[in-house]
Amino acid sequence: MIYIANSALLLFNVIYYREFTDFMTINVIFGYSSVSEGLSSSSFALLKPQDLIMLIDIIFIIVAFATRFIKFDKKPLPQRQAVAVSSFALLLIFFNLTLGEINRPQLLSRTFDRNYLVKYLGIDAFTFYDGIKTAKNNRVRSEASSSDLNKVLNFTQKHYAKPNSQMYGIAKGKNIIVIHLESFQQFLINYRLNGKEVTPFLNSLYNDKSTYSFANFFNQVGQGKTSDAENMLETSVYGLQQGSLFSALGTDNTFQGAPAILNQTQGYSSAVFHGNKGSFWNRNSVYKNLGYQYFFDSSYFNTDSNNLTEYGLKDKLLFHDSVKYLERLQQPFYAKFITVSNHFPYTIDQKNTDFKAADTGDSSVDNYFVTAHYLDQSVKEFFDYLKKSGLYNNSMIVLYGDHYGISNSRNLKLASLLGKSSSTWTDFDNTQLQRVPFMIHIPGQKNGGIQQQYGGEIDVLPTLLHLAGIDTSSYIQFGTDLFSKQHDQVVAFRNENFVTPNYTVVDGNIYDNKTGVQITHPSTALANKIKSESNKVNTELSLSDSLNNKNLLRFYIPNGFTPVDPKNYNYKNDFGQITKLQQQLGTSSTSLWSRNGNKTTIDDYTSDAPELNTTDSNEKNESSASSSISTNSSSSSSVDKR
């Protein structure tokens, strides 16, 4: 029976994966609604002839027992033999797990993609692991009640910062375009390597008077890295102490995120563009809970091998190939672009760059400047398109670095390039390098410039919502508006360290920000101040963890907010859905396509990407796009039924 059940588990996962590009979790297996959705009778049409391989052995075993070709042996297995077999099996499991950890560090703790867990550990190990994790989560949630929310509400309401009247609503009604700069650190801005600017376009944007650029903005991610950054950006709630919130809890948690808030208050449509698999970081589930209407993952792009980096579509191709979808979105829209080319181990083929690498002896540090330069070029091309197409003047464009690119273990190699000595490098220096860019570019504004206030990713959502003219006082948010006079400048890190405009605290050690020198004998006043701020940081992180782990937002609905129903979204036919909506709206459609006389703006996009500038590549891209459009359009009826 165990053997038959195991084969059934494998078969059902094959069917489920073909339908949803994901593996069945314990909640899907035992949840009636999920099973009926994931394994409906129509899904069995996805079976293929080769799937019989998974059933032939079962049929053979049944026939063999029925004909007594194989007989049950009622004698117990000798104890020594049983112990030997079990020990050998455990050794193989441990060996396999070790290989997986070597290839993908923190495979179990971060769980950034169920595909990787199954790849390295197998479907059985994944199901067992997911079962343990689910049981733990369910126990915590079953014991939670609405009263657990009181401490969270008290904290966030007292912590709330009123908007700056001069900034409130200055971007109301504008499209909001978020550009996620993968692994991009602040020190790259205005940096020259061998006399050449690494990021000339981003430098010009950073120093533009139409840009509010933050010089002291820090990443606050934990093990969830990119997914933590996205979570804070969208919800103003911290990631988990261990692992990724998106992966561990994102499928079932309740969110009150930017896409839903913008849609319900001001009618924004929303979309994400990402040239990787939708299952990575569990995005294809989490985005639905956040209220994203459309998610254009790798299945919507030409993913020939020469178009890819290790983590997805090259940035120039992502921006270029997203235009045919972006131009169809109803305005105002909230659109996020997740770049991947500037990702460890920082490799890009020679035909895409002529920028000379550094020479520190560490290839990841040396090539970091090369891929950052490529990212800079990609963003410039996209900005040029926005200006030519007419989207630019009616948009607020937000750029942010999600987390560090060079890890602490490699900072000693980086030190000399920053004019520092590796022999005097300290934890203070590591902490200062957690700065990442945060820029809010609003065309037409002349009062921008470099902002000195301290802040972090947790502060992005209330800041953007206030700029869009949306009151955030009724929402549960741990960040505060960066422009508010009441903005909290204590920046908490996930490991409970923190930084303020004057001091940096790492593992209880206090450093003076001006000198970088450790204060070994702080005054009583300073010691009390640091203790108070440390308690506040610990409380804030603890309350955020309670909110996430107990899924407390299910007990709280802000005024005027309708909880998101993820069943309203199906990302398999997004192009068909937006074109169908556009046709239904007719002359009232606000999409760029409609306002351009039902003509595409793809020709407004100029790129020097070699993959786009050869006859073969163009023909291949056009073929791929046509195929994608045709496939999506033809499948619209089945999507509507679901």
Based on the fold, state whether residues 134 and 178 are members of the same structural domain.
Answer: no
Evaluate if residue 44 carries a pLDDT over 80.
no
> For the residues 607-619, what does the mean pLDDT come to?
73
Based on the fold, state whether residues 122 and 246 are members of the same structural domain.
Answer: no
Based on the fold, state whether residues 52 and 128 are members of the same structural domain.
Answer: yes
226 is catalytic: yes
User: How many angstroms separate the CA atoms of 190 and 204, rounded?
Assistant: 9
Q: How many CB atoms lie within 10 A of CB 597?
A: 6
Is residue 482 situated within a structural domain? no
476, 499, 530 - which closes a domain: 476
Does 182 carry a binding-site annotation? yes
Evaluate if residue 79 carries a pLDDT over 90.
no
Output the DSSP codes for 320-373.
HHHHHHHTTSPSSEEEEEE--SS-TT----GGG--PPP--SS-HHHHHHHHHHH
Based on the fold, state whether residues 275 and 411 are members of the same structural domain.
Answer: yes
Based on the fold, state whether residues 137 and 171 are members of the same structural domain.
Answer: no
Helix, strand, coil: what percent of the chain each, to 5? 50, 10, 35
Is residue 622 situated within a structural domain? no
Based on the fold, state whether residues 117 and 252 are members of the same structural domain.
Answer: no
Based on the fold, state whether residues 184 and 118 are members of the same structural domain.
Answer: no
> For the residues 90-104, what does the mean pLDDT come to?
77
Based on the fold, state whether residues 173 and 231 are members of the same structural domain.
Answer: yes
446, 476, 506 - which closes a domain: 476
Q: What is the mean pLDDT of the chain?
A: 88
476, 493, 510 - which closes a domain: 476
Does 226 carry a binding-site annotation? yes
Q: How many domains does the chain have?
A: 2
What pLDDT was estimated at residue 113? 57
- What predicted TM-score, i.e. pTM, was given to this entire model? 0.80
Does 381 carry a binding-site annotation? no
User: Which domain CATH number covers 175?
Assistant: 3.40.720.10
Based on the fold, state whether residues 171 and 134 are members of the same structural domain.
Answer: no
User: How many angstroms separate the CA atoms of 342 and 401, rounded?
Assistant: 11
pLDDT tens by residue, 297-340: 999 999 999 999 988 999 999 999 999 999 999 999 999 999 99
Is residue 481 situated within a structural domain? no
Lowest mean pLDDT among 70-74, 448-452, 583-587: 70-74
Based on the fold, state whether residues 312 and 258 are members of the same structural domain.
Answer: yes
Give me the catalytic one of 156, 199, 226, 431.
Answer: 226
Please, which pLDDT band fits residue 51 given cuts at 50, 70 and 90?
A: confident
Based on the fold, state whether residues 110 and 182 are members of the same structural domain.
Answer: no
Please, which pLDDT band fits residue 18 given cuts at 50, 70 and 90?
A: low
CB 277 within 8 Å of CB 259? no
| Among 293, 333, 320, 287, CA closest to 589 | 333
| Among 437, 534, 454, CA closest to 495 | 534
Based on the fold, state whether residues 385 and 426 are members of the same structural domain.
Answer: yes
Provide the domain limits for residue 231: 167-476
pLDDT tens by residue, 503-516: 999 999 999 999 99
